[in-house]
Amino acid sequence: MKMRTLLTIIYIYYPLLHLLLIISKWAVYGKEKKEQIKRFAESYLKDCINDATNPPPYLTTKFAEVFVELMKRSWPQYWPKAYELIKQAMRSSIRQFQTGEMIFTILLQEISDKEENSRLSIERRKDLIQQFNYNGDDFIKFILFTLDSYIKKMADSEQQKYLIQNTIDLFTAMIPCIPEKMIRSNIDSIYMMMDPVSTDRDVFQHVVNFLCSLAGVQYTANNRDFAISVLKRLLEVSKILPNFFDQMGDADLYKQFY
């Protein structure tokens, strides 16, 4: 077991560390060198992050962070295939699906971060949001379909729950970045994914975070009925988990979000 762990570190961790160091010098590299770096990241996602290698979670998290740094510098102008590359990997194994979700969760969180905290310029942030939304509807449907196919293959209920939690977190990060129309057209499918496990103790907090993100959208008058439906769900949740809302009444909850 120790030998396998050592081999995992040698085979997976050191190339990842090397990639991180390379990206830190991104600005000084020419076009050819940058293409080599992207190809290395692509092969790493394919060959090192999968169910067969089964890397420890901290390595997949670090890889996702590194991959996001590459996307921030290259996608879509200089790396147009990055989106399809990630989707292809996510179809290949559960571990790659989780890693792909993590990549987009981290990216979207940084895009939607408050301006003073973000390391992205306003223009770059707009650029990334525009590109994500170009594929956003397709991506939401892809995530839900692929998640369902993996869930059906998993016998371990804890693993199923963990996968669903990650997916809810991805949608939570997505909400501030996508247009109202996209939210509304996909929300029933997202609810359908969450509802069977929404009362589970471990999943419930993730559901609450998603609903709060959903309630924080500045809805237009045309979507007032949808905004009210979100509020109703929050009110239902507040009865189940009152401590999360600091014992707020219905009127207080309404004022906070609307």
pLDDT digits (tens, 9 = 90+) for 148-197: 999 999 988 889 999 999 999 999 999 999 999 999 999 999 999 998 88
SS3 95: helix
pLDDT digits (tens, 9 = 90+) for 86-109: 999 999 999 999 999 999 999 999
CA 29 to chain centre: 29
CA distance 24 to 34: 12
Residue 90, CA atoms < 13 Å, CB-side half-sphere: 26
Residues of the chain with pLDDT under 70: 1-22, 115-118, 238-258
Does residue 72 contact residue 120 with C-beta atoms inside 8 Å?
Answer: yes
Bond before 196 cis per omega within 30 degrees: no
Structure tokens at 4: 């396998």
Boundaries of every domain in the chain = 36-110+126-153, 180-257
Note the pLDDT of residue 6: 46
* pTM for this prediction: 0.86
